[in-house]
Amino acid sequence: MNQYDLNLILNPNLSAEQLQTERDYIETAVRNAGAEITNLDDVGNRRLAYDVGKDREGYYLMYTIRAGGNPERDIATSLRLRDNVRRILVVRDRPEQRTKKA
């Protein structure tokens, strides 16, 4: 199993209940794809580099997952159907790409 980063940008105008519903759906989609969540960074609302639709901000969720196969296809395709999900990025974590601090 490989480690991946799953980064999502959600609608910035979600209520607490709607946000929890989206998180539950994301966790279910990850589990259904045969992956497990090892870490979640809930960054919150941040300004976007460019407008997405009419939104100048987005709610960021950054997951670290362990998955086999192709999580881009399995996870991202189901999450793209959600109305509140603005952007999805799945990247394989490569330890050799990390920089060491001196």
Give 67-98 pLDDT, tens digit per residue: 888 878 888 888 998 999 999 999 887 666 66
Q: Please name the helix (run of DSSP H) or strand (run of DSSP E) that holds residue 51, with its range, or none.
A: strand 36-52
Cβ neighbours of residue 57 under 8 Å, at least 6 residues apart? Answer: 12, 45, 46, 47, 48
| pLDDT at 23 exceeding the cut of 90 | yes
Give the integer Cα–Cα distance in Å for 92 and 20: 26
Tokens of 43: 């960054």
Confidence of residue 44 (pLDDT cuts 50, 70, 90): very high
Q: Domains of the chain by range and CATH?
A: 2-94 (3.30.70.60)
Beta strands 36-52; 85-92: pairing state = unpaired
Q: What is the pLDDT of residue 85?
A: 92
What distance in Å separates the CA atoms of residue 79 and residue 6, rounded to the nearest whole number? 11
Contact by Cβ (8 Å): 92, 1? no
Q: Are 57 and 45 in contact (CB under 8 A)?
A: yes
| pLDDT exceeds cutoff 80 at 99 | no
